[in-house]
Amino acid sequence: MQNFISVKDVDDINILADKALAYKQNPLLHKSLGANKRIGLLFLNPSLRTRISTQIAAENLGMQVVTLNVDRDGWKLEFEEEAIMSGTSVEHVKDAAPILGNYFDILAVRSFPGLVNKAEDYSEHIIKQFMKYAGIPIVSLETSTLHPLQSLTDVITIKESIANSNYLNLKKPKVVLTWAPHIKPLPQCVANSFAQWINAWDEVEFVIAHPEEYELNEEFTNGATITHNQQEALKDADFVYVKNWSTYIDYGKIYNNDPSWMLTPKSLEITNNAKLMHCLPVRRNVELSDEVLDSGNSLVTVQAGNRIWAAQAVLAEILAEIK
């Protein structure tokens, strides 16, 4: 693996997922693979899980880790080519990225979308600038449109849950991605990425439910059944993935914040005793009710724990190429 930006960088999802689950059984399996190698974790936006899980994953492989919170501690970066830098940005990515490429063997970057200019966000210009100028493998820690480490985690969480269930082993599980309300406009990244990975994985029945205004980019959803009726989607569901996203078509807006889309034990009665997933952070009693989050069917803590093994599998694949 050269870079990890989307599912397109993965040859075989099941092989990568199995590798991640092997690390869960034995975290120090390849504890010297990254010896004398250094990874930079660059955060242009906040993080709890991605930051810590990626650091632990890299350390399990013997790597040195340096984290920079660019949003708080770094110079404000400019990404526009030929920019006249008379505004607030202090350093151009074409100057900073080659230096980071010199310091590190792998560079991992988190950069959220502005949610103002759809063409700019969906061009993924920020991560592409790092890929162009750093000269080393680049790992996405969530970009403008995708969150592949989260999605690999989601696949391994579903996969291990199926493996641990006698019943789910006997049928094609039904996975539902449902929109949920939120108080502010959020990126489409997690939903796009989940749809892209589940469609590529192609081992489950996949349904997406959202209010009419929240159609996602078909580039990612093609292959899924899409409905505006949440109860219809939830019927016989085995896994329900909950996530808010802002509008894609009339970009970055909140049009409908219907609280009835927040899942409760009542709305889940129609499922097949479904397991609940969410990437976190979650706004309790806005996106998901306390009762659902705190129920025995919630996988959210297991899911967040699995972030380590997903990151470790990806870093191991990249290290194998650069050794």
Our CB check for ligand CP shows the closer of 55 and 178 to be 55
Q: Is 279 a residue that touches ligand CP (CB under 6 A)?
A: yes
Q: Which residue of the chain is nearest ligand CP when measured via CB?
A: 50
Our CB check for ligand CP shows the closer of 267 and 303 to be 303
Q: Contact with ligand CP (CB under 6 A): which of 6, 50, 143, 188?
A: 50
Q: What is the C-alpha to C-alpha distance for residues 130 and 192, in angstroms, rounded to an integer?
A: 22
Contacts of 176 (CB under 8 A, 6+ apart): 207, 208, 209, 233, 234, 237, 239, 240, 241, 274
Q: Is 280 a residue that touches ligand CP (CB under 6 A)?
A: yes
Q: Hey, what's the torsion of the CAs at 56, 57, 63, 68, to 10 degrees?
A: -60
Length of the chain measured in residues: 323
State the DSSP code for 292.
H
CB of 150 to ligand CP, least distance (A): 5
Stretch in the footprint of ligand CP (CB under 6 A) among 74-82, 101-109, 210-218, 275-283: 275-283
CB of 59 to ligand CP, least distance (A): 17
Name which of residues 150 to 179 contact ligand CP (CB under 6 A): 150
Q: What is the C-alpha to C-alpha distance for residues 156 and 152, in angstroms, rounded to an integer?
A: 6
Our CB check for ligand CP shows the closer of 60 and 193 to be 193
Q: What is the C-alpha to C-alpha distance for residues 31 and 315, in angstroms, rounded to an integer?
A: 12
Q: What is the C-alpha to C-alpha distance for residues 3 and 67, in angstroms, rounded to an integer?
A: 19
Q: Is 48 a residue that touches ligand CP (CB under 6 A)?
A: yes
Question: Which amino acid, one-letter code, is at 81?
Answer: E
Q: Is 49 a residue that touches ligand CP (CB under 6 A)?
A: yes
Q: Contact with ligand CP (CB under 6 A): which of 18, 24, 29, 47?
A: 47
Q: Which residues bind ligand CP (CB under 6 A)?
A: 47-50, 142, 150, 279-281
